Amino acid sequence: MRATLGAGRLRVVRQLLTESLMLSSIAGGAGIALAWIFLRLLLRLDPGDIPRLQQASLNFWVLLFVMGLVLVTCLLFATLPAISTSRMNLVGFLKTGGTRGVVAARDRGRNLLIVGEIALVVVLLAAAGLLVRSYVKVTSVQTGFSSSTVTCDIALDSRYAGRGQGGAFFRRLLDRIALVPGIEATGAVTILPFSNSHSVTTLWVDGYRDNNKETLIDGAAVTPHYFSAMSTSLIAGRFFTDADHDDGGSQVAIVNQSFVRKYFPGQSAVRKRLRDSSDPKAPWKTIVGVVADVRNESLDEAPVPQITRPSMTSRTPASLYALPCRRTHSSPPCALP
């Protein structure tokens, strides 16, 4: 109607762009308002184990991003329709009563857009359904440790090699971390779950019929409070103590449930003996505890038998350790003092 009354093409395009900008601005403002509301609700529902959640806020960069998104949306979804509308055939428009005043190419383009939108919706719905299904399966998997435990990796250089300097360093470090307000437990381990690293050792189980000199098993060295820091459940026996580490850690070991099912089915593994060497002269280790299975590789792979031995003794070399620490819900994120 504006075109028939004498409005030029540029005027019509400008009007449509203005209308689109108004709609985009309203949508952007509504998005910012909803983000502010949901952010307040999220902070109220803070479980306490999400690092730096209380620092989340809407700042200048968020507002700048929304403004840019509004402009891009306006230009992207209003320019082409505005140009197409400005090419209206006024004579044909008036003759047909306004039912077909745009070139036929507009109908073809509209049909292609509709088909593309439907195809994208189908793909997005299928992907969303698979994502929700995968998320439900992942959350139902028992990992054997707390996923909210804060961890870090520390590698010492050659200066700490030998003379027990590596073990002394980690003992001092763990003691200092334990002094941070809100920290409940700290520990260290040579191989952290899901770290894509492996540590294997030979195995010889006392009384097991199928012992083999080539049998290998996953092994790791931990500090006394490692299992507490990781929230790994104790099934039988006890955890390591400081006394186990002070005597060199060569006399005791802790195994997981998969180890018990394979080597001591239907029996208690506590006080059973094993060697991490096929050498008959190697000392025996006594199993003092059984812990829950931990998935070390990935969530879709079943736990494997594992042996855990004490670490941080006077003979501990300088190497790579993962330091998990468990904190209270009200405490700040774990930080090295």
Q: What is the per-residue pLDDT for 107? A: 66
70 and 210 co-located in one domain: no
Answer whether residue 319 shows pLDDT above 50: no
Task: Give the C-alpha separation, 151 to 187, whole Å.
Answer: 10
pLDDT category of residue 318 using cuts at 50, 70 and 90: very low
In a domain, 189, yes or no: yes
Q: Are residues 268 and 194 in the same domain?
A: yes
Domain boundary among 61, 85, 102: 102
**Predicted pLDDT of residue 163:** 54
Residue closest to 84 by CA, chosen among 63, 62, 102: 102
Q: Is residue 96 located within the same domain as residue 172?
A: no
**DSSP 3-state of 51:** coil
Least confident residue range of 30-44, 52-66, 160-174, 320-334: 320-334
> When comparing pLDDT for 2 and 228, which is higher?
228
Q: How many domains does the chain have?
A: 2
Residues 247 and 323 grouped into a single domain: yes
Of 121 and 299, more confident? 121
More confident residue, 24 or 197: 24
- φ, ψ dihedrals at 315, nearest 5°: -100, 10
Q: How many other CB atoms are found less than 10 A from the CB of residue 289?
A: 20
Average pLDDT, the chain: 77
pLDDT at 329 > cutoff 50:
no
The verdict on residue 132 lying in a domain is: no
pLDDT digits (tens, 9 = 90+) for 232-263: 889 999 998 878 776 555 689 999 999 999 99
Query: Which residue type sits at 252?
Result: V
Same domain, 159 and 44: no
Rg over alpha carbons for the chain, rounded to the nearest Å, is: 33
86 located within any domain:
yes
Q: Do 320 and 171 lie in a common domain?
A: yes
pLDDT over 70 percentage in the chain: 76
Whether 117 is covered by a domain: the verdict is no
Last residue in a domain, options 77, 102, 127: 102
Q: Give the DSSP letter string of 173-202.
A: HHHHHHTSTTEEEE--BSS-TTSS---EEE
- Confidence class for position 156, pLDDT limits 50, 70, 90: confident
Tell me, yes or no, whether 140 lies in a domain: no
Give the residue numbers spanning the domain of 177. 153-327
Q: Residue for token digits 């999400």?
A: 50
78 is a domain residue: yes
DSSP string across 88-126: --HHHHHHTTTSS-S-HHHHHHHHHHHHHHHHHHHHHHH
Residue 291 has pLDDT above 90, yes or no: yes
| 160 band by pLDDT with thresholds 50, 70 and 90 | low
69-124: pLDDT as tens digits: 888 888 877 777 766 666 666 555 556 554 444 445 456 767 888 899 999 999 99
* 134/120 Cα distance (integer angstroms): 21
SS3 253: strand
Please indicate, yes or no, if residue 134 is contained in any of the structural domains: no
Say if pTM beats, i.e. exceeds, 0.85.
Answer: no
